[in-house]
Chain A
Amino acid sequence: GAVVSQHPSRVICKSGTSVKIECRSLDFQATTMFWYRQFPKQSLMLMATSNEGSKATYEQGVEKDKFLINHASLTLSTLTVTSAHPEDSSFYICSAKLPGTSGGYGYEQYFGPGTRLTVT
């Protein structure tokens, strides 16, 4: 089956530094990937939609200059948290949409295992 990996699984960084999180589709090409954020005991909230070869689409309230997304290839999207602050500490999960054959609508997404970011 389709597998999505994330690296690193856990990262601790100091306030003010930048952290890059990678999301890879291991056995399929994903033109679209999504980045979600999950605070403790809360559900997943979509941050942005990452499209290969074009700029990411950010959800309302998400700072695009703080959360830089790059989808440079069909199997890799990266999320860089710039000038991290303790309030950026969260669980970040990516998903990749499996390409379909009928207009690209609503195909099953596969989720990565998540990255736990802690900013001290």
Chain B
Amino acid sequence: KQEVTQIPAALSVPEGENLVLNCSFTDSAIYNLQWFRQDPGKGLTSLLLIQSSQREQTSGRLNASLDKSSGRSTLYIAASQPGDSATYLCAVNPGYTGNQFYFGTGTSLTVIP
């Protein structure tokens, strides 16, 4: 069964700093990987989706990379802002029957003004 781990579990940075969130998964046979943002008590907001054939995706200040062979993905946030404070989840789609996502443990990010 796929296991997804995110490091660090919590991160606190001053505003304006660039930061990297890490996601690792045990089974490299994935179809895609998705990064989500979750605000306290709220649902999920999709940030970036990377197909297994892709190496990275960019959206605004966010850049997600994927190294499928090593079972790793990173989410890079440039010029962090207080509004970026949230929990970031990565989720792996194994691509087999069912297509459910396996979620990581999350990284709680706090950007200090």
Contact = CB atoms under 8 A, between A and B. Distances in A.
Interface of A: 6, 32, 34, 36, 42-46, 49, 57, 91, 93, 95, 97, 104-114, 116
A44 B100 contact: no
Given A43-B89, A49-B100, A112 B43 contact: yes
B76 interface: no
Given A43-B106, A114-B43, A116-B41, A107 B99 contact: yes
Contact of B42 (A34, A49, A108, A113): A113
Interface in B67-111: 89, 91, 93, 95-96, 98-106
B36 A111 contact: yes
Nearest to A110: B46
B98 A57 contact: yes
A36 B89 CA distance: 14
Interface of B: 31-32, 34, 36, 41-44, 46, 49, 51, 89, 91, 93, 95-96, 98-106
B84 to A, nearest CB: 19
Contacts of A45: 103
Contacts of B100: 34, 46, 49
What are the 9 closest A-B residue pairs judged by CB atoms, nearest first? Answer: A106-B31, A113-B43, A114-B43, A111-B44, A106-B95, A44-B103, A43-B103, A46-B100, A106-B93
A118 to B, nearest CB: 12
B31 A44 contact: no
A119 to B, nearest CB: 17
Contacts of B103: 36, 43-45
A43 B36 contact: no
Given A105-B99, A106-B93, A106-B99, 12 more contacts: A32-B98, A36-B103, A46-B100, A46-B101, A49-B98, A49-B100, A93-B44, A106-B31, A106-B32, A107-B99, A108-B32, A114-B42
